[in-house]
Amino acid sequence: MQSLDPEIYAQLRKMAKDRGITMQELIRAVIVPDWMRKAGASHPSSGRAVRKGVRRLRRTRATVTA
């Protein structure tokens, strides 16, 4: 489950429309991979499992970069 600020939602909706894809496709194909790539580069333990296979997740503020 996710909740988006109306302004962010509108930006994402426009980006998806401009690309000719749905919001869900945009999130799965563009937003999540980009976020994972950036989170992995800035988080030194991103490749290691922590505490019996559970990784620590850091909450970050949503930004539109795609």
Q: Pick the residue with more confidence: 63 or 54? A: 63
Q: Pick the residue with more confidence: 64 or 49? A: 64
In this prediction the pTM is: 0.54
The pLDDT, as a whole number, for residue 25 is 94
User: 3-state SS string over the chain?
Assistant: CCCCCHHHHHHHHHHHHHHCCCHHHHHHHHHHHHHHHHHHHHCCCCCCCCCCCCCCCCCCCCCCCC
The pLDDT, as a whole number, for residue 45 is 58
Tens digit of each residue's pLDDT (9 = 90 or more) over 3-60: 889 999 999 999 999 999 999 999 999 989 998 999 887 656 555 554 555 555 555 5
